[in-house]
Amino acid sequence: MKPRLVLVLGDQLTTSVAALKAADPFRDIVVMAEVKSEGTYVRHNKKKILLMLAAMRNFAKVLQQQGWKVQYSRLDDPTNSQSISGELLRYANAFGAEELIATEPGEFRLITILKDMPLKLQMLEDDRFIASHAMFKDWSSGRKTLRMEYFYREMRRKTGLLMDDGQPIGGKWNYDIENRKPAKDDLLREKPLQFEPDDLLTGLAELIDTEFERHPGTTEDFWYATTREQALEVLDHFIRHHLKVFGSYQDAMLDQDPFLHHSLLSAYVNIGLLDPMEVCERIEHAYRVGDVPLNSAEGFIRQIIGWREYMRGIYFYKGPDYVGLNALHATRDLPDFFWTAETDMQCLRRSIHQTLHNAYAHHIQRLMVIGNFAMMAGIDPYQVHEWYLSVYWDAFEWVEAPNVIGMSQFADDGLIASKPYASSGAYINRMSDYCKSCAYTPLKKMGEGACPFNLLYWSFLDRHSEKFEKNPRMAQIYANWKRRAPKDKTTVLEEADRFLNAL
């Protein structure tokens, strides 16, 4: 009986992933491949590549210890074809394999590559997610709007998380109103758990610096987890030191503290080192034994079984054309400072610098600083999408694209968001300390030193008034704009245009 190839991708590092469950360790051959094409279809951040390759090599050892026959292609192997399809064909020829078992990838690009291969393909849905494609399709059927909040309630009922007798604990589904407090500098705040680089990481860092020299970011200061055991330590550390106040301060931003009380678990869940339900069950347990308040437990669980599952559902429900949507007809090119952080807007400078250096920024930096600016400036959403996919350690298209195209850029015409996530400098000033050291004044609405976010906010609303002024959630905003003196409105729009033209 001929062996079959079993593909394990870099974001499928789970011993119970669908392809492995369907395979026979005595017959089949596991293929894992570090290939240039997966690192360069967008210019992935060096730390993201380092995380992926180190985690892949460690996971391959786990599979070998469990008795699997693993064919592992290293990036610097001279026989490496540097593509997933090329490596699969190389091993198929070497072992006489005619069949391929694969867990469905999280990008249509890779799905197409696998389907086009001259091998008999058994592609299995990724059952590490709680909501199957069929479940999301059934939930979506007949709905005029696909709001996450209602999907989230179905997921609470399905999982039983934070539920008692079929009802949400505390009587409410959502405690987000309690999770919007600004934070203060705190030298005693517990720092993220850090791991010392080993020989594997050191060698890989040198390889990545050579092979991906022109990519954003750096391999320096890499202290992330690269094994399941380490990822579990990070989960323990978060629950013990940060979860209690995570909810209250999850939207806060500080110039010199990029992590605050955030978990740094998203990448480990997305590449398979942690299971989403095991994480949520640990969070729920911490609440039920009285270690953390409900608003923190609910806020975190909502990110996993609400937003994460919902985004994946939207991605596969809408199909490969979703990333090309551009409802606001935005055409401006992405400014160079997105790759350098060289801008005198402190909020953008710090958020982008942290992104490039850490391959990480938390959700409000991504949405209300970087994404907010890109949308209001009219930057092409596909270019924005590719930037997000490039720079963040947890970005895979199934989760990144709906967050950017839909939630951040409103390019899907309100499929995800009921109104655009646009805000002036006042929001950033309220939720951060960025404005204290900025060249601009957050409360100044026009004239020399006026915050560009103030100018862009009103310019954006004026530019899209026909689309948004009848939106019930925006009626008062437009009423305020209409009451502005004509001379002031003209000044704001002219100054916004000058700023945009200078980009």
Question: Look-up: residue for tokens 């610096």?
Answer: 209
Output the 3-class SS for 29-76.
EEEEECCHHHHHCCCCCHHHHHHHHHHHHHHHHHHHHCCCEEEEECCC
Res 267 pLDDT > 90: yes
Res 227 pLDDT > 90: yes
Name residue 210's amino acid. Answer: T
The DSSP H or E segment spanning 376 is helix 372-376
Q: Residue 108 has which token pair? A: 């249509």
Res 144 pLDDT > 90: no
pLDDT computed for residue 145 by the predictor: 87
Q: Residue 474 has which token pair? A: 């925006």
What residue ranges in 148-218 does DSSP mark as E strands?
Answer: 163-164, 167-168
Name residue 117's amino acid. Answer: M
Mean pLDDT of 14-30: 98
Output the 3-class SS for 47-59.
HHHHHHHHHHHHH
Question: Look-up: residue for tokens 């050291």?
Answer: 437
Helix (H, G, I), strand (E, B) or coil at 482: helix
pLDDT computed for residue 320 by the predictor: 98
Question: Look-up: residue for tokens 């460690």?
Answer: 58
Output the 3-class SS for 224-289.
CCCCHHHHHHHHHHHHHHCHHHHHHHCCCEECCECCCCCCCCHHHHHHCCCCHHHHHHHHHHHHHC
pLDDT tens digits along 30-77 = 999 999 999 999 999 999 999 999 999 999 999 999 999 999 999 999
pLDDT computed for residue 109 by the predictor: 98
Distance (Å, whole) CA 301 – CA 288 = 14
Contact (Cβ atoms closer than 8 angstroms) between residue 330 and residue 371? no
The DSSP H or E segment spanning 83 is none
CA angle (278, 280, 282) in 5-degree steps? 70
Mean pLDDT of 184-193: 93
pLDDT tens digits along 163-177 = 999 999 999 999 999
Mean pLDDT of 369-379: 98
pLDDT band with cut points at 50, 70 and 90 for residue 411? very high
Compute the mean pLDDT over every residue in the chain, rounded to the nearest whole number. Answer: 97
**Residues 6 or more apart whose Cβ sits within 8 Å of residue 239:** 282, 283, 286, 291, 292
CA 265, 268, 273, 277 dihedral sign is: positive
Distance (Å, whole) CA 271 – CA 284 = 22
Mean pLDDT of 249-254: 97
**Residues 6 or more apart whose Cβ sits within 8 Å of residue 283:** 239, 243, 292, 297, 300, 301
**C-beta atoms surrounding 96 within 10 Å:** 8
For residues 285, 308, 250, 49, the Cα torsion angle rounded to the nearest 10 degrees is 110
Contact (Cβ atoms closer than 8 angstroms) between residue 93 and residue 72? no
pLDDT computed for residue 26 by the predictor: 97
Q: Residue 54 has which token pair? A: 């180190």
pLDDT computed for residue 262 by the predictor: 98
Q: Which residues of 103-126 are buried (b: 16+ CB within 10 A; e: fewer)?
A: bbbbbbebbebbeebebeeebeeb
Res 385 pLDDT > 90: yes
Mean pLDDT of 345-357: 98
Contact (Cβ atoms closer than 8 angstroms) between residue 109 and residue 397? yes
Helix (H, G, I), strand (E, B) or coil at 214: coil
Res 105 pLDDT > 90: yes
pLDDT computed for residue 187 by the predictor: 84
Name residue 120's amino acid. Answer: K
**Residues 6 or more apart whose Cβ sits within 8 Å of residue 178:** 247, 248, 295
Distance (Å, whole) CA 194 – CA 221 = 10
Res 244 pLDDT > 90: yes
Distance (Å, whole) CA 52 – CA 346 = 31
Adjacent-strand bridge partners of 29: 5, 69
User: Half-sphere exposure of 186 toward its Cβ, with a 13 Å CA cutoff?
Assistant: 13
pLDDT computed for residue 412 by the predictor: 97
CA 109, 115, 118, 120 dihedral sign is: positive
Q: Helix 46-65 and helix 199-211: axis angle, to 10°?
A: 130
